Amino acid sequence: MDTNRITAAPAPQAGQVTTFYSFDGAGPRSLALAIAAGLLAGRDAARAPVLMIDWDLEAPGLHQHFPRTHEERTRAGVLELFEACRDRLRDGSRPQGEDAEALAAHVLDGLDWDAYIERIDDSRPLYLMRAGRMDDSYGERADGLDWDALFCACPALFRTFAAHLTQRFGHVLIDCRGGRSAATSVCTALLPDKMVGLFTPDPRSLEGLHGVVARALEYRCSHEDEQRPLLFYPVPAPVDACTDARLRWRFGDAQRGHAGYQPQLEKLLCECYGLCSVSLDSYLDEVMLPQVGLVGMAPPLGRAHPGERERLGPVRSIDALLEWVEQGHFPWRPLAEVRLVEAVEALRTRAGDPHAPALVRELARLGHAYLGQQGELEAARRIEQHLIAIEAGLHAMEPLRRHGEPAGDGLDDRVSRL
Q: Which pLDDT value is given to residue 346?
A: 74
Among residues 328, 369, 363, 333, which one has the least CA distance to residue 348? 363
Number of Cβ within 10 Å of residue 157's Cβ equals: 25
Residue 332, beta-bridge partner list: none
Predicted pLDDT at 2: 45
Instruction: From residue 50, give the alpha-carbon distance in Å to each of 7, 46, 92, 169.
Output: 13, 11, 36, 6
pLDDT of the residue at 253: 82
Beta strands 171-176 and 16-22: pairing type?
parallel
Model confidence, pTM: 0.80
Contact at 8 Å (CB) between 238 and 245? yes
- Written as tens digits, the pLDDT of the chain (418 aa) is 344 556 655 556 779 999 999 998 778 899 999 999 999 998 765 567 999 999 999 989 888 888 765 556 788 999 999 999 999 988 766 666 668 888 999 899 989 999 999 998 888 899 999 999 989 999 999 999 999 999 999 999 999 999 999 999 999 999 999 899 999 999 999 999 999 999 998 889 999 999 999 999 999 888 877 778 899 999 998 877 677 888 889 998 877 777 899 999 999 999 989 899 999 999 999 998 875 444 444 444 545 444 445 555 788 899 999 999 999 999 999 998 888 878 777 776 766 677 666 666 666 666 666 666 656 556 555 555 555 665 666 566 666 555 555 444 443 443 333 3
Sign of CA dihedral 23, 249, 329, 383: negative
Report the pLDDT value the prediction gives residue 388, as an integer from 0 to 100.
61
